[in-house]
Amino acid sequence: MNEALLVADAVWSTIESTCSVTDDQLSILHFLFGKNLEKATRIVDKRGVKRISGEPSGRSIFQVVGESQKREEYLCFPEDYCGCYSFFYDVVSRGEQHCCKHQLAARLASSLRTCNEIKVSDEHLALLLSKI
């Protein structure tokens, strides 16, 4: 793991433990993630992040609203995957970003505990995951 991600993980841990974010923490994250963080904060401010949890397992995935006029929703795991074009192009193919704005929005909303919580059966969650 590179140094930037170690710094980001430390900041995320602090945000998660306090359920709040300071201007200094936002500045650090902005330095690391640039305009993707700005876009992610807009998504969080608009309450565009849902955590879909299966019951009884408690497993979950995030559904994040995009910013385009289509208002598409992307399924993502904050640290590992997003179904958006940017994830595959900028993160996976070109390696120019560590993550996309949807992953950042999911991580931020989760850390601040501001996700819209949706409970579904494990079977329904499995159906959602099968579409990835």
Q: How many domains does the chain have?
A: 1
Q: Is residue 52 part of a domain?
A: yes
Q: Is residue 83 part of a domain?
A: yes
Q: Is residue 26 part of a domain?
A: no
pLDDT digits (tens, 9 = 90+) for 58-105: 999 999 998 776 778 999 999 899 999 999 999 899 888 889 999 999
Q: Is residue 8 part of a domain?
A: no
Q: Give the pLDDT confidence score for residue 2 in this predicted structure.
A: 78
- The torsion of the CA quartet 21, 25, 30, 31, rounded to 10 degrees, works out to -170
Domain extent, residue 54, equals 34-130
Q: Is residue 53 part of a domain?
A: yes
Q: Is residue 70 part of a domain?
A: yes
pLDDT digits (tens, 9 = 90+) for 5-34: 889 999 999 999 999 999 999 999 999 999
Q: Is residue 105 part of a domain?
A: yes
Q: Give the pLDDT confidence score for residue 67 in this predicted structure.
A: 79
**b or e along 48-74 (b: 16 or more beta carbons within 10 Å of the residue's beta carbon)?**
bbbbbbbeeeeebbbbbbbbeeeeebb
Q: Is residue 68 part of a domain?
A: yes
> Is the pLDDT confidence value at 1 over 70?
no
